[in-house]
Amino acid sequence: MSIPQILAVVAGGALSVLFACVPGFRSWYDAQLPARKSQIMLASLLLAAVLLFADGCLPQINVFPAEALTACSLQGVADLFVLLVLAAVGNQSVYGLTKNLRAQDSQMRRYEAGLQGYKSI
């Protein structure tokens, strides 16, 4: 696996953690409709893949070292698709791992809300 591919997987996983665990993002993301959530995640993954590709094409960005970048060519565009797929794999892998964590957190919040209701009586 090349460095851009590893970065794509990590970026996809990081997006999943961002939307699942970071309080401000999580509450906003949870309030969205399921179709909208899919659109937001796809756009975020596409943006991450395009930024990795753009870092190789635009010397002004220059965030990662040259060996970590995709080629700024037709082959690089094909690699962009691979990066997008790998970002989605990383995203869904982390989503699967954190799904139970989110469900438990939701149950805990409902439980605590129920306890608070009893305290006020």
DSSP 38-80: HHHHHHHHHHHHHHHHHHHH-TTT--S-GGGS--SSHHHHHHH
pLDDT digits (tens, 9 = 90+) for 46-70: 887 777 777 777 777 666 666 556 6
The number of angstroms, rounded, from the C-alpha of 67 to the middle of its chain's C-alpha atoms is 24
Task: Please tell me the predicted confidence (pLDDT) of residue 116.
Answer: 63
Task: Please tell me the predicted confidence (pLDDT) of residue 36.
Answer: 92
Angstrom distance (rounded) from CA 97 to CA 60: 37
Token pair listed for 1? 């696996």
Answer with the residue of higher pLDDT: 68 or 106: 106
Q: Are the CB atoms for 89 and 12 separated by under 8 Å?
A: yes
Task: Please tell me the predicted confidence (pLDDT) of residue 66.
Answer: 62
With pLDDT > 90 as the criterion, what percentage of the chain qualifies?
Answer: 4
61-83 mean pLDDT: 73
